[in-house]
Amino acid sequence: MKKLLPFLKPYIKECILGPLFKLLEASFELFVPLVVAAVIDEGIAYADKAVIWKMCGVLVLLGLIGMVCSITAQFFSAKAAVGFATRIRQALFAHIQTLSFGALDKIGTFTLITRLTSDVNQVQSGLNLTLRLLLRSPFVVFGAMIMAFTIDVPSALIFAVTIPILCVIVFGIMLVSMPLYKKVQAQLDKVLGATRESLTGSRFIRAFRMEEDAQETFDARNESLTALQRYVGRISALMNPITYIIINIAVIVLIHTGAIRVETGIITQGALVALYNYMSQILVELVKMANMIIQLTKAAACAKRIGDVLDTAPGQTFPDADATQDNNAPAVEFRHVSLRYGGAGDESLTDIDFSVPAGSTVGIIGGTGSGKSSLVSLIPRFYDATAGAVLVNGVNVQEYTADTLRGKIGYVLQKALLFHGTIRDNLRWGNPEASDEELLEAASLAQAGDIVAKKGLDHMIEQEGRNLSGGQRQRLTIARALVRKPEILIFDDSASALDLATDAALRRAIGQISYHPTVFIVSQRTSSLRHADQILVLDDGVLVGKGTHDELLASCEIYREIHQSQTGERSGKGGNS
């Protein structure tokens, strides 16, 4: 929780005024039993209507003042709690944006969503209750006990015995339940993970008729969460009945003792009623305190989880200024690069070594899991090489600022992802200052001109581009990368949804770009790569072939097998047919 306290600094005033007005409300509430005692002893006992009306007026006044104080306290508490949660959520989201791909993979998307939503809401509720009750409830409990001593010391000793017993029970249950609530939140991550996975892959689930399996997976995780919540709920639920039992036993003892003392004339009937009212106040406040402690227990567990994310190192650091570039150096160079993902047993890439002249086109091909996407992800530094160095314009990518390095690169991912908004909004991710003419030019190069002409730049795209076909999404994501006019273009198998004619037209258009970017094309099709200046062949993370299409047909068995499996051609080692 200490990690989150700095987010409360702008709300110091509210954090003081909220509890202060609650204490004022509690102070007026403590006078109510004395006024009721006066009504009984001075009004009803002597049938003095003037005293009764006067004391009733005092009760109404105390109630109105208490209500005003309570509303004011609620306002300041809510303002502080909501503002506090807002700042945490903003800081948490901003910190997540700084995390490397490796750190994000390690934490998990589902966990991050839970901590941004459910955990922050629990912390908000915990702070709200804390500001309203943390001082008020103990103040009323101990204030009622002190007021009881002013009425009758022997009777008040019952309070002095009851309150410590109740404190032991309340805090004992809190210590037991706190770690359990942390486990509940962790289990909630798993339920949300199953839910998100099922909803995201709903089409695939239906296509393979796996609805029952998906339902069983969800039910199993949900039942596990429910069982854990029931267990911790039973423990927390003990607080109220045990509290009621002890308080009611104390009330019985108080009435029995008080009745004897009233009978002997030591105290008045009004004093006994006042003592009973103070005991009732203690009961109510202890119930409130019990609920507050349960919520605080949840909030503390959630705050710890949020703090863990905020404490997670970004995983990558970038310099404040760029190193001097060498314009005569290759556009991209890999020097004996290896990559091992965090927690992986084997390397995904091993001793990759090649260089790419500026303005050339490089094709990358290999079987599934051969490391094609891993290789190109090292260029924009989505991941850091575990050995060797990746250079862009003669400078190690780790010596570039993030803006400079990413500004040089246009990256089109395997999954064509568009965001909710207009086509114009999505294309301007590549360049926020791009004019409509530049957007149309990029769309034309990406073979998406017909889409824009038919729908218009103001056409609204649904989340993840659900109202577009797979080919339309891919062409628009390619256009988004081209709007930037980058020095390096990376197509990570981003034409898989395009037909051969459109794919060929796209490659021709890219080859005719006036500023001649360096192009990396990851593809499963040899036909998409045969005109590349250089083709890299990967097998299980190892570079097993490097050369032109004809050279690889003659020298690389894996490339020859891929080509033959796609075209049915047969060739000797000396050429192709």
Higher pLDDT, 184 or 521: 521
CATH number at residue 485: 3.40.50.300
Average pLDDT in the chain: 87
| Pair (300, 440) in one structural domain | no
In this prediction, residue 1 has a pLDDT band, given cuts at 50, 70 and 90, of: low
Any domain includes 321: no
| Pair (363, 265) in one structural domain | no
Percent of the chain whose pLDDT exceeds 90: 34
What pLDDT is recorded for position 413?
Answer: 86
What pLDDT is recorded for position 575?
Answer: 41
Phi, psi (deg, nearest 5) at residue 350: -135, 120
Let me know: does 431 contact 484? Beta carbons within 8 Å: yes
Phi, psi (deg, nearest 5) at residue 91: -65, -40
| Pair (82, 6) in one structural domain | yes
| Pair (93, 180) in one structural domain | yes
What pLDDT is recorded for position 203?
Answer: 75
**525-553 mean pLDDT:** 92
3-class secondary structure, 485: coil
| Pair (295, 343) in one structural domain | no
Tokens in use for 64? 């109105």
Cα separations in angstroms, 577 against 531, 563, 565, 571: 16, 11, 14, 6
Any domain includes 316: no
| Pair (251, 121) in one structural domain | yes
DSSP string, 491-551: EESTTTTS-HHHHHHHHHHHHT-TT--EEEEE-S-GGGTTT-SEEEEEETTEEEEEE-HHH
Any domain includes 575: no
Phi, psi (deg, nearest 5) at residue 31: -85, -15
Look-up: residue for tokens 């075209």?
Answer: 567
* Closest to 423 in 3D by CA, of 492, 476, 483: 476
What pLDDT is recorded for position 124?
Answer: 93
* Closest to 356 in 3D by CA, of 223, 248, 243, 517: 517
Any domain includes 572: no
Tokens in use for 196? 């998100």
The Cα 465–Cα 472 span in angstroms is 9
* Count of domains forming the chain: 2
Residues contacting 528, CB < 8 A, separation 6+: 363, 495, 503, 507, 521
What are the tens digits of pLDDT across the range 5-30? 889 999 999 999 999 999 999 988 88
| Pair (128, 226) in one structural domain | yes
Q: The sheet that has 361-366: what strands, in order across it?
A: 395-396, 387-392, 332-339, 349-356, 542-547, 534-539, 361-366, 518-522, 488-492, 409-412
Q: Which residue among 252, 277, 311 closes a domain?
A: 311
The Cα 181–Cα 226 span in angstroms is 12
What are the tens digits of pLDDT across the range 359-387? 999 999 998 888 999 999 999 999 999 99
Q: What is the pTM of this model?
A: 0.74
| Pair (249, 345) in one structural domain | no
Any domain includes 438: yes
Phi, psi (deg, nearest 5) at residue 243: -60, -45
Residues contacting 317, CB < 8 A, separation 6+: none
| Pair (277, 349) in one structural domain | no
| Pair (359, 290) in one structural domain | no
CATH number at residue 8: 1.20.1560.10
Find the range with the poorest average confidence among 264-268, 360-364, 420-424.
264-268
What are the tens digits of pLDDT across the range 58-108? 889 988 998 999 999 999 999 999 999 999 999 999 999 888 888 888 887
3-class secondary structure, 170: helix
Query: What's the sign of the alpha-carbon dihedral 519, 522, 525, 530?
Result: positive
What are the tens digits of pLDDT across the range 281-291? 887 887 788 77
| Pair (262, 358) in one structural domain | no
| Pair (99, 222) in one structural domain | yes
Any domain includes 325: no
Is it the case that residue 572 has pLDDT exceeding 50?
Answer: no
| Owning domain of residue 267 | 2-311
Percent of the chain whose pLDDT exceeds 70: 98
Any domain includes 250: yes
Any domain includes 559: yes
Let me know: does 349 contact 337? Beta carbons within 8 Å: yes
